[in-house]
Amino acid sequence: MSSLPIVSIIRRETFSSAHRLHSPFLSDEENKKVYGKCNNPNGHGHNYVVLVTVKGPVDPQTGMVMNITDLKKYIKTAILEPLDHKNLDNDVPYFKTMASTTENVAIYVWDQLQRIMEKPQLLHEVKILETEKNHVVYRGGNTYSRKKPDSSCHRSHVSHEVSSDSD
């Protein structure tokens, strides 16, 4: 039996959302210090670019890793419908108790895609471009246990293999 070539498919989509960077685990003063102008009570918006990468063997019968029509449908359901032209903090239940950072948006997108994909093992990477200069990449797995903050710990310490490119 010969091995099948492994190929990546990357689908690019865009969505626009508003949010306010504000952590329920920090005081108002700490939020202002940590998030600066992005903690404005009126919020602000982004035109996000999301790149979803699936990776796997090329099926010898279809010549595809995944039917691109299926990938488009997954992205519409998991990303565009719940996030496009929405206020992340007010309209997306996931962000009611979590800061709507781009890192957390990437984790949300990954989790939503994993939940609905017929073959979730093909999901390789979610990359979100918040701005031309700020990009976040999430590849799932390798998590630290999430501790609920107490009065001595103001920030939850979470790593989800997220990388961020900033100034």
Distances (CA, A) of 102 to 17, 20, 105: 11, 11, 5
Decide if 32 is inside a domain: yes
Of 85, 153, 154, 157, catalytic:
85
Expressed as residue numbers, the domain containing 113 is 6-165
The two structure tokens encoding residue 138: 């999430």
* Residues in the chain where the model's pLDDT stays below 70: 1, 143-167
Decide if 54 is inside a domain: yes
Those residues whose C-beta lies under 8 Å from the C-beta of residue 64, and which sit 6 or more positions away, are 58
Decide if 66 is inside a domain: yes
Q: Is 19 a catalytic residue?
A: no
User: Given this model, what pLDDT does residue 1 score?
Assistant: 58
The two structure tokens encoding residue 130: 């918040």
Of 19, 22, 125, 130, catalytic:
130
Decide if 1 is inside a domain: no
Q: Give the CATH number for residue 155.
A: 3.30.479.10
Decide if 72 is inside a domain: yes
Decide if 129 is inside a domain: yes
User: Given this model, what pLDDT does residue 86 score?
Assistant: 98
Please count the structural domains in the chain: 1
